[in-house]
Structure 1
């Protein structure tokens, strides 16, 4: 984990893409897309059916790493609203154990707007915790501190003449906003959008500066993506 200051509070970003909020003993994860493989299999594209197990194992590891007692998932928890009904018994048991171990809140997203908490936890469209909004998709014009997901941001870098892409968080800051952050997708079977894509920049307005951040070598690496014209 690497420390991260945001909206006048301290957080920690894990290498897996989860964000730990010590003041709330809470772990935030975005875009799990559980049961994505079974969704594609249902439509004729066969994929190994173990994506949910792997994603849940990574959440369990993040809970052990941080000691979190609460989990907030920031939408697109399942790849579709019926995904929770397709969980195979092993993955369903894993999820049920996790939702019993911590206070678990599912925030719904565009992929799973009508999901049911069959394996436990509670459901909300969005929440406000200690003055900070938790929702699936960043709301343009929001001036309160905000955490969201949806865009699956990734940063493309050139390292030793090789191009690599890494999931990252995107943070907007400025005089008109309390700070807003888009978390990387946490799920095993999730692609990504360029962190500096105009859709992300637009969603995070108003802002003075937009940066990509990610753990690197035990420190927080920061890359400026956009700055307001002087």
Structure 2
């Protein structure tokens, strides 16, 4: 499995190169910011047409991660849909796909700022979730500890062979772990931004996604 193994809050976790988080002991797969239906929402609000395959791509990669890990529990860390209407207008084929991925698994939707969780799609719907030492929520809280969140779509830049490569990244310090956005067309916030630099401790690590999960000192 292509990932970077690390310990957080005395818990063994794996940051997968896809941007998903794997907790082997709990057989739990966590993903954040799927933003399903983003191309439809952009077309509806702005009139800009993008290839309407972002949700299919995102669900396909999620299906692959579930197949590789054989996860029993899935936690979606909020903003699973790009807005509430996108959750209601998801095409039937994609709705059935989500239902098939849920089959035989405990599926938890954490509430995001873009959507309150697609209630009609089944699963459990929570504001946040605590399992053992870890707490899962959408947006990081400044004073929290042992926290796993999303929301910011962090990206980090690596300079190699005279080139600068920017990739979605996990951000990790002793208090919190912030996941990259799992969905397509999501954009991202640089780890050098003030909000992330202020939120993460000085010794924070960025784990780049892509062909290989690669840990580097968090660029500031």
- Shared topology, TM-score over 0.5? yes
- Alpha-carbon deviations, 1:138-190, whole Å to 9, x = none? 10011x301000111111122222221111100122xxxxx310011100121
Q: Unaligned 5+ residue runs, structure 2?
A: none
Match of 2:173, SS state, is strand
User: Cα distance, 1:68 vs. partner?
Assistant: 0.9
Q: Does residue 148 in structure 1 map to residue 149 in structure 2?
A: yes
Alpha-carbon distance between aligned partners in 1 of 2:30 and 2:140, rounded to the nearest angstrom:
15
Q: Does residue 4 in structure 1 map to residue 1 in structure 2?
A: no
Q: Unaligned 5+ residue runs, structure 1?
A: 174-178
User: Cα distance, 1:95 vs. partner?
Assistant: 0.7
Alpha-carbon distance between aligned partners in 1 of 2:210 and 2:182, rounded to the nearest angstrom:
17
> What is the match of residue 100 of structure 1?
103
The answer (yes or no) to whether the contact 1:140–1:202 under 8 Å persists in 2 is no
Alpha-carbon distance between aligned partners in 2 of 1:168 and 1:188, rounded to the nearest angstrom:
14
> What is the match of residue 125 of structure 1?
127
User: Which of 85, 90, 99 lines up with 1:87 in the alignment?
Assistant: 90
Alignment TM-score, normalising by the size of structure 1: 0.88
Alpha-carbon distance between aligned partners in 1 of 2:194 and 2:205, rounded to the nearest angstrom:
13
- Alpha-carbon deviations, 1:176-216, whole Å to 9, x = none? xxx31001110012111111322013334xx4522212358
> What is the match of residue 217 of structure 2?
223
Match of 2:172, SS state, is strand
The answer (yes or no) to whether the contact 1:99–1:119 under 8 Å persists in 2 is no
Alignment TM-score, normalising by the size of structure 2: 0.91
Match of 1:166, SS state, is strand
Match of 1:82, SS state, is helix
Question: Is the alpha carbon distance of 1:120 and 1:219 closer, same or farther for their aligned partners in structure 2, counting shifts above 3 Å?
Answer: closer
- Number of aligned positions between the proteins: 217
User: Which of 183, 187, 190 lines up with 1:191 in the alignment?
Assistant: 187
Question: Is the alpha carbon distance of 1:164 and 1:121 closer, same or farther for their aligned partners in structure 2, counting shifts above 3 Å?
Answer: same
The answer (yes or no) to whether the contact 2:32–2:77 under 8 Å persists in 1 is yes
User: Which of 19, 33, 36 lines up with 1:34 in the alignment?
Assistant: 36
Match of 1:163, SS state, is strand
> What is the match of residue 17 of structure 2?
15
User: Which of 40, 52, 56 lines up with 1:53 in the alignment?
Assistant: 56
- Alpha-carbon deviations, 1:55-82, whole Å to 9, x = none? 1111111111111110001111100022
The answer (yes or no) to whether the contact 2:156–2:190 under 8 Å persists in 1 is yes
Question: Is the alpha carbon distance of 1:219 and 1:165 closer, same or farther for their aligned partners in structure 2, counting shifts above 3 Å?
Answer: closer
RMSD between aligned alpha carbons? Answer: 1.8
Worse overlay, 211-220 or 192-201: 211-220
